[in-house]
């Protein structure tokens, strides 16, 4: 007699690094896994601090982290076999200590470096001009393969200082006038190379010598947020505090509006039950419907069907919220849905199916909640301004097409994990920084981004220090990365530009059970928001680079209103009242 059927699940073990290992900051790290199965192992997915950092489909299974920073890290791996069975490895933990000295020497003679790769060596940062192996930076002459980007040791170069002198905060102008924008810029240990002026993320012009000023001609009606970015002779940059002005009639407070965004999930959780949209209290300004998901791992046709009530009842519930002045968005992805637009066919199926969902239910916009490896940078993709990874390029094209189909009132929001955004500070590879091309390419259409400040490990702030989640310091540090802009992979010449303050919100769990980690008590979060929005310090370790704060910051996102119900809607009640106290700060 023969037997048929599914064999047992695979086995998976992390073989390197060893549990409890102590490493030195600045060293590359490769995580190795041994995985076996009676059939075959189809993939191994790697996780760092519960965040997916890559997938390997062939043995030996591994993932590499180019540079690893000071902090505590945990790793695990999930193996999947040909029958779809999975096994989670035993989790290991390592400690990474600060490296001696202020500028770690990271060049390795046997390492292959490709064009635009950067590495520190002999207290300088070097950028490869083309492929190289074994050519030591600084020893191959002016026509060598390395470009010297200057000193990299802390304290070797002070960042410049820059402030906008004109126009004044809250200035008003007639439509169509020419506006003088002038700044003062100084550098204590060098010279100013240029000062570039921006409204939001749009460059208005550059001044390369004092007086640092430009004329902004024939300005259209509207509210504008101005900044100046100064660069010194060693490549260090500083962004000024924001100056908000009004041109023509500026009725309404769109730029100053503060929002409480709540996700609503279309299922019964074990402790957070299904709730009718019309039964929600009036605390939430935007409701993100979770989730539209692909038909299968290989079919990027999206689908959404309301649970527990009919399609017509759900449509009526959406309309009811909209008549109350709320926005209702469809959110795509989530933790359990893998969306990867690797081909043109994937992209076209995604666009047509998502537009059909938006049209049927009358949603006001699209929320992007891709997690895990849905947005994953391929090897050699090193420039967020010019991505080469197909799934990244296709997703940007798809979002642009969908937004253009519905006009300027259509909302586009995003809820990345910290690794996808702020993680690029230390490494632009794999999932680290994978949202940057999307945010950069669509910044003109982006309503706001609310990075998930939860289910995350410790992260570096702009001051180079490590901050732990669920603390006021962490929330302030993570938010200012987007409000101020930050160097990508330690490269001060590769700066991810600041978003407008009204494009930045913070994502939080609405209850301790709503996420694996990151729940922050309201009293702790108030300290962070007071500091971020008004500049009122709570005496924490992290110091805002813009001491005046960011009055235009958009607000708070919470996962989820279903979980908030288990706390008698404490989250929505608290933050809807708190955000009202900040409404007068932007244009005073």
Q: Which tens digit of pLDDT belongs to each residue from 7-66?
A: 688 999 998 888 877 776 666 678 889 898 888 899 998 888 887 787 888 777 888 776
pTM: predicted TM-score of the whole model, two decimal places: 0.65
pLDDT band per the 50, 70, 90 thresholds, residue 496 = very high
Q: Is 545 exposed, middle or buried (0-12, 13-18, 19+ CB in 10 A)?
A: middle
Pairwise CA distance, residues 496 & 437, whole Å: 10
Pairwise CA distance, residues 572 & 286, whole Å: 11
Pairwise CA distance, residues 473 & 481, whole Å: 12
pLDDT band per the 50, 70, 90 thresholds, residue 2 = very low
Residue 67 pLDDT greater than 80, yes or no: no
The domains found in the chain, sorted by start residue, are 11-97 (2.60.40.10), 112-151 (2.10.10.20), 161-247 (2.60.40.10), 254-580 (3.20.20.80)
Tens digits of per-residue pLDDT, 537-563? 999 999 999 888 998 899 999 999 999
Pairwise CA distance, residues 371 & 105, whole Å: 34
Residue 325: which residues within 8 A CB-CB, separation 6 or more? none
- Considering 45, 371, 417, 480, which one is annotated as catalytic? 371
CA distances from 361 to 170, 177, 292, 353, 355 (A): 40, 43, 12, 13, 10
Which H or E run contains 247? Answer: strand 243-247
Pairwise CA distance, residues 326 & 526, whole Å: 24
SS3 368: strand
147 noted as active-site residue: no
Q: Give the gyration radius of the chain's Cα atoms.
A: 25
Tens digits of per-residue pLDDT, 353-376? 999 999 999 999 999 999 988 999
Structure tokens at 258: 């503060």
Q: Which DSSP symbol is given to 168?
A: P
């Amino acid at each position: 007699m023969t037997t048929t059927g599914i064999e047992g699940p695979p086995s998976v073990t992390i073989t390197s690094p060893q549990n409890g290992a102590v490493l030195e900051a600045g060293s590359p790290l490769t995580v190795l896994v041994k995985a076996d199965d009676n059939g075959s192992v189809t993939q191994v997915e790697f996780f760092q601090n519960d965040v997916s950092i890559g997938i390997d489909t062939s043995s030996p299974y591994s993932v590499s982290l180019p540079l690893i920073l000071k902090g505590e890290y945990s790793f695990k791996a999930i193996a999947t076999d040909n029958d779809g069975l999975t096994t989670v490895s035993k989790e290991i933990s390592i400690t990474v200590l600060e490296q001696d000295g202020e500028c770690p020497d990271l060049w390795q003679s046997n390492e292959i470096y490709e064009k635009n790769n950067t590495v520190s060596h002999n207290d300088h940062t070097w950028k490869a001009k083309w492929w190289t192996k074994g050519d030591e930076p600084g020893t191959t002459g002016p026509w060598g393969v390395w470009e010297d980007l200057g000193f990299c040791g802390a304290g070797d170069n002070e960042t410049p200082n820059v402030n906008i002198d004109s126009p004044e905060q809250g200035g008003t102008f007639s439509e169509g006038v020419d506006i003088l924008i002038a700044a003062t810029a100084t550098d204590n240990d060098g010279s100013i190379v240029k000062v570039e002026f921006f409204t939001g993320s749009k460059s208005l012009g550059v001044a390369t010598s004092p007086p640092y000023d430009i004329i902004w001609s024939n300005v259209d009606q509207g509210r504008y947020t101005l900044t100046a970015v100064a660069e010194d002779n060693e490549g260090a940059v500083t962004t000024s505090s924001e100056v908000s002005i009004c041109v023509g009639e500026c009725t309404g407070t769109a730029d100053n509006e503060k929002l409480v965004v709540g996700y609503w999930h279309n299922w019964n959780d074990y402790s957070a039950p299904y709730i009718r949209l019309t039964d929600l209290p009036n605390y939430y300004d935007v409701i993100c419907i979770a989730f539209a998901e692909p038909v299968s791992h290989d079919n990027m046709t999206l689908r959404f069907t309301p649970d527990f009530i009919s399609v017509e009842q759900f449509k009526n519930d959406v309309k009811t919220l909209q008549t109350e002045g709320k926005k209702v968005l469809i959110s795509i992805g989530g933790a359990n849905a893998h969306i990867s637009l690797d081909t043109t066919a994937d992209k076209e199926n995604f666009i047509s199916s998502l537009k059909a969902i938006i049209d049927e239910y009358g949603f006001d916009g699209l929320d992007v909640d891709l997690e895990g490896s849905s947005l994953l940078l391929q090897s050699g993709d090193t420039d967020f301004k010019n991505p080469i990874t197909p799934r990244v390029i296709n997703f940007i094209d798809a979002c642009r097409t969908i937004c253009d189909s519905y006009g300027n009132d259509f909302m586009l929001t995003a809820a990345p994990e910290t690794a996808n955004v702020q993680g690029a500070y230390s490494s632009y590879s794999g999932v680290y920084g994978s949202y940057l091309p999307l945010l950069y390419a669509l910044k003109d259409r982006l309503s706001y981004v609310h990075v998930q400040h939860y289910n995350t490990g410790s992260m570096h702030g702009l001051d180079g220090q490590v901050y732990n989640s669920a603390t006021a310091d962490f929330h302030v540090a993570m938010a200012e990365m987007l409000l101020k802009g930050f160097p990508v992979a330690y490269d001060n010449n590769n700066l991810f530009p600041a978003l407008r303050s009204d494009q930045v919100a913070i994502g939080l769990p609405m209850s301790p059970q709503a996420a694996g980690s990151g729940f922050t008590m309201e009293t702790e979060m108030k300290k962070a928001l007071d500091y971020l929005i008004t500049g009122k310090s709570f005496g924490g370790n992290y110091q805002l680079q813009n001491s005046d704060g960011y009055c235009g910051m958009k607000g708070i996102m919470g996962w989820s209103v279903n979980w908030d119900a288990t706390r008698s809607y404490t989250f929505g009640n608290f933050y809807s009242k708190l955000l009202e106290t900040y409404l007068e700060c932007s244009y005073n």
